[in-house]
Amino acid sequence: MRRIPLSRRSHIIGFQPLRTGTVEHESALERDYVTLIGFLDSRAAITSQPVTIEFCDGAKTRRYTPDFLVHWSGGPRELVEVKYRKDLRAHWPCLKPGFVAARRWAHEHGATFRIATERRIRGAGLENAKRLLPLREAPLDLAASQQLLAVSRSLHRPTFGQMLAASPVPRALALATVWRLIARGALRADLSTPVGFDTILSLP
């Protein structure tokens, strides 16, 4: 069981349910990171505080525990530290030796060490994740989805708005169905930017 110490910033203890298991977090930024990873790769396995690394810092023996180990479904593994940029700048001399040890550990275990800050985590991708993740398991009207996928094939990479305009089903149903199709990956969109009526959609 992960022991979660008191944090100076955004101390939010919680559990994030993913398809591959439940992940613990200790801050709002860690919570957002887990949400984003679960959205980008629903089959990614995330282990919280996976290892404690001992290393020498001058004459002292110190320990460092990274926040997560991410095993992407495609094979690569990442050892990850989640930190606010402000905290990195303020405590870099103290943090750096542990990060060097983590990078060495990752190399020895076939992984990559990364530091994830709010700049990488927060943005349009995270907002899309928050909106679309609940829709992955939402009921889907199969008849409407088949009709809308046929519209996508006939128009070839239409915008979201063009899909709705050409839809043979009522607009409210079409709107709900298109969002669900995007969430399930049946329609592709650039999820690094906000999704709107000008967003281009395509088939996988």
Q: What are phi and psi of 110, to 5 degrees?
A: 65, 35
What pTM, to 2 d.p., does this model score? 0.83
DSSP category for residue 57: E
Contacts (Cβ under 8 Å, ≥6 apart) of 176: 141
Q: Domain ranges for the chain, please list them.
A: 11-122, 137-204
Average pLDDT over residues 84-90: 97
Please report, for residues 72, 84, 112, 190, 198, the alpha-carbon distance to residue 29 in angstroms, rounded to integers and kept in the order given. Answer: 20, 8, 20, 23, 30
Question: pLDDT-based confidence at 4, cuts 50/70/90?
Answer: very low
How would you label 5-14 residue by residue, b for 16+ Cβ within 10 Å and e otherwise? eeeeeeeeee
Please say if the pLDDT value at position 199 is more than 50.
Answer: yes
Task: Write down the CATH number for the domain with range 11-122.
Answer: 3.40.1350.10
Question: pLDDT-based confidence at 7, cuts 50/70/90?
Answer: very low
Q: For 114-163, write each residue's pLDDT tens digit.
A: 999 999 999 999 999 999 999 999 999 999 999 999 999 999 899 999 99
Q: What 3-state class would DSSP assign to 130?
A: helix
CATH architecture assigned to 137-204: Orthogonal Bundle (1.10)
Place of tokens 């004459």: 59
If phi > 0 it is left, if psi is from -120 to 50 it is alpha, else beta; for residue 9 that is beta
| Angle between the N-to-C axes of helices 28-40 and 124-132, in degrees from 0 to 180, rounded to the nearest 10 | 70
Please report, for residues 24, 29, 89, 115, 194, the alpha-carbon distance to residue 85 in angstroms, rounded to integers and kept in the order given. Answer: 22, 11, 6, 10, 24
> Two tokens at 154?
């006939």
- pLDDT at position 72 is 96
Q: How much of the chain is helix, strand and coil, in % rounded to 5? A: 45, 25, 30
Please say if the pLDDT value at position 19 is more than 90.
Answer: no
CA distance 78 to 95: 18
Q: For 27-61, write each residue's pLDDT tens digit.
A: 999 999 999 999 999 899 999 999 999 999 988 99
